Amino acid sequence: MKKDRILLVAAMAALLVSCGGKKGGMPNFGDNEFPVKTVGTSNADLQTSYPATIKGVQDVEIRPKTTGFITRVYVQEGQSVGAGQMLFALDDGPSQAQVRQAQAAVNTARAQVNTAKLTYDNSQKLFESSVIGNYELQTAKNTYESAQAQLAQAQASLSAAREALSFCYVKSPASGIIGSLPYKVGTLVSPSVQPALTTVSNNSVMEVYFSMAEKDMLEMTKTSGSMKNAIAEFPEVKLQLADGTIFNQAGHVSKVSGVIDAATGAVSMIARFPNPQGLLKSGGSGSIIIPKTASNSIVIPQQCVMEVQNKYFVYVLGAKNKVKYTEITVAPHNDGMNYVVTSGLKVGDKYVTNGLTKLSDDMEIKPITPEQYEKKVAEAEKLGENQSSPSKFGDAMK
């Protein structure tokens, strides 16, 4: 009796191995059946993505106009500032001294002008009374004009000193968001300092930079008739962020470079996105997604296509139900699930949709419809579940 049970267990195990369906690929129906579909035309919503860099519509590097030690920092990183708002203060002691010195020179020159004017006025009266001659009058006039010129020069020096003093107070030239602050109070900075004191970014609207292949740009331009029309007709674009999510605002292409990069063969483009919530930050990265609709095109699932060394192949059903390993070309734009076939297939052709790894060129098959294939797959899976059921297997062991 014990021997009979052992034999029964072995027989059941063998049955499970022989009938169980394989994971992935095409189930082993045992009759050389493969699903075949007829080529037709349809519309497909495709998309192409391009790596992109995000920048504020206005990114202004803040640098001092003079050399000095930072005495105060008025802002913090990420703070919103307005145009003309104070950002940094530099040591203004030397500049204040120059202003006072220049002011003193102006005062001295003004006094000299007043004295020279009195002398000139008096000389005019003496000349009218014939007390002095023309030489003395002209000398007094020249002295007065020279004093006026010295006053103007002193006033110009005072203006320059005051402007130099203003360089000690660094203000924001535009409204925006403060970037990083690499320098602290006490640091010696200069106009050539690297990096800059900070960056003020206008983040209300963001400019997203990306590059499009030259051939795509030519195709778009030819279709629209001109670059201007191509930009006007360009569809709304989406921005995929670094975390894979899609930004909640649509963008529009606003600028296209007139020069093709000789090194990459690409054209630089800029799309603008409104940024009302301030989610986008200058310096960020992402991908521009450009939608495209293919009308009346041959569209086939990517799972029906084999890619070998950047070439694409399908198995086409030919005469006497023999399959032909056929190369096709596909459009560069796809939705990640389907290909738009541009050559290699025509309407009415039949291609194999599943079990490609079991096929070989010129192999004869028995074609079935995809619906029949799905039904056979379901039946095979159901049979496998029934045969591997622990309760039935346990009953058989008894």
| 176, 57 contact by CB (below 8 A) | no
**CA–CA dist 83, 162 (Å, integer):** 21
Q: What is the pLDDT of residues 166-177, one digit of tens each?
A: 999 999 998 888
HSE at residue 99, side-chain half, CA atoms within 13 A, is 13
Least Cα distance to 197 among 189, 205, 209 occurs for 189
Q: What is the pLDDT of residues 182-224, one digit of tens each?
A: 999 999 999 998 999 999 988 888 999 998 888 777 877 777 7
| 347, 15 contact by CB (below 8 A) | no
44 vs 277, residue with greater confidence: 277
Domains 64-91+168-196 and 96-155 share a fold: no
Q: Which residue(s) pair with 146 in the sheet?
A: none
Least Cα distance to 177 among 56, 295, 288, 90 occurs for 56
CA geometry: angle 51, 56, 59, nearest 5 deg: 120
pLDDT at 179 over 50: yes
Domain range list for the chain: 22-44+296-377, 48-57+201-293, 64-91+168-196, 96-155
| 301, 338 contact by CB (below 8 A) | yes
Structure tokens that stand for 67 in this block: 């050399």
Q: For residue 59, give the 3-state DSSP assignment.
A: strand
**CA–CA dist 198, 63 (Å, integer):** 8
User: What burial letters (b/e) apply to 42-61, b meaning 16+ CB within 10 Å?
Assistant: eebebebbbebebbbbbbbe
Structure tokens that stand for 180 in this block: 């990083």
Find the range with the poorest average confidence among 148-152, 219-223, 348-352. 219-223
Per-residue pLDDT, averaged over 327-335, amounts to 81
**CA–CA dist 373, 394 (Å, integer):** 32
Q: What is the pLDDT of residues 62-80, one digit of tens each?
A: 999 999 999 999 999 989 8
For domain 64-91+168-196, the CATH class is mainly beta
Average pLDDT, the chain: 84
pLDDT band at 326 (very low <50, low <70, confident <90, very high): very high
52 vs 228, residue with greater confidence: 52
370's torsion region: left (phi>0), alpha (psi -120 to 50) or beta? Answer: alpha
Measured CA distances, 11 to 182, 258, 304, 394 (Å): 77, 76, 38, 13
Q: For residue 337, give the 3-state DSSP assignment.
A: coil
Percent helix / strand / coil, the chain, rounded to 5? 35, 35, 30
| 258, 304 contact by CB (below 8 A) | no
Q: Which residues contact 166 (CB under 8 A, 6 or more apart)?
A: none
pLDDT for residue 286:
93
| 338, 45 contact by CB (below 8 A) | no
Least Cα distance to 67 among 160, 164, 149 occurs for 164
Give CATH for domain 48-57+201-293: 2.40.30.170
Give CATH for domain 22-44+296-377: 2.40.420.20
pLDDT for residue 27:
53
pLDDT for residue 22:
39
Give CATH for domain 96-155: 1.10.287
Does the pTM surpass 0.85? The reply is no
